[in-house]
Amino acid sequence: MSKIKCIIIEDEPLAVKVLTDYISQVPFLELNGSFKDAILATDYLRDHQADLIFLDIHLPKLKGMAFLKTLTHPPAIIITTAYHQYAVEGFEMNVTDYLLKPFDFERFLVAVTKVKTAKTAIPGNEEARATKDHLFLNVQKKKVKVLFQDIIYIESQREYIKIVTTKGEYLSKMSTHEIEDLLPPTQFKRIHRSYIISLSKIDSYTSEEVEVSGISIPIGRGYREGMDW
């Protein structure tokens, strides 16, 4: 099983140190970053994927619960706070667990094991993605059905994505990582942090760009290995 990629959103240095230490002791966890406020974390999540967020409630600029409500497709969330009164609200928002500070390593391990258990069920989801032939996108307050076979490529545009299809273009408020999770991996490939392409629409490619349905799209440096299409 691949490691669970996690980030910490916490403005107390001591709490960050404790979480970092705990994470380093768990073989299936991988810490990809820590952020002192939710705004910085939001910028990071536009271009990176996280499987798990350790989220404090009382943060500067944007409170933890308010940040959570901005996530269209949130990853697993473990709340870390000294305030027990937010537990009910947290569980109503489907957080995985709620850790009251100070918490010991054993309690931490119980929480992250819940995430691991849920993640092991993902193969069933991938099987479902393989048989599904469409998705529904939020476009101007409507749910629009888009067939996978019609998608040419997807481009990140800040907090939105542009989905270019054979039938037209759509703008939807989500990240490329969020839509990537909804696409069958056998039919689509990310070739740049801002682009996902349909493999069936490839006309030609070089080490630096791919042409899909007559449109040239750059290949990011970190995506140039393993281009066996």
**DSSP assignment of 37-67:** SHHHHHHHHHH---SEEEE-SS-SSS-HHHH
Give counts: helices (H), strands (E), the chain. 7, 15
Tell me the mean pLDDT in the region 100-123.
83
CA gap 62, 139 in Å, rounded = 26
Which domains, from first to last, does the chain contain? 4-120 (3.40.50.2300), 127-223 (2.40.50.1020)
**Region of poorest pLDDT, from 9-23, 36-50, 70-84:** 70-84
Residues 39, 63 contacting (CB under 8 angstroms): no
* Residue 8, CA distances (Å) to 29, 52, 193 in order: 12, 9, 22
Roughly how many angstroms between the first and final C-alpha of the chain, as a whole number? 25
Structure tokens at 171: 């703008």
- Hey, what amino acid is at 53? I
* Least confident among 7-16, 58-67, 90-99: 90-99
Asked whether the predicted pLDDT for residue 41 surpasses 50, the reply is yes
Per residue in 163-206, pLDDT (tens digit) is 999 999 999 988 888 888 888 888 888 889 899 999 999 999 88
Q: What is the mean pLDDT of residues 212-222?
A: 89
Q: Interhelix angle for 105-119 vs 13-24, to 10°?
A: 60
What is the model's pTM?
0.54
- Using pLDDT thresholds of 50, 70 and 90, give the confidence band for residue 226: low
pLDDT in tens, 114-172: 888 877 654 445 455 455 789 899 898 889 999 999 999 999 998 899 999 999 999 99
Question: So what's the pLDDT on residue 124?
Answer: 47
Tell me: the pLDDT tens digits for 9-24? 999 999 999 999 999 9
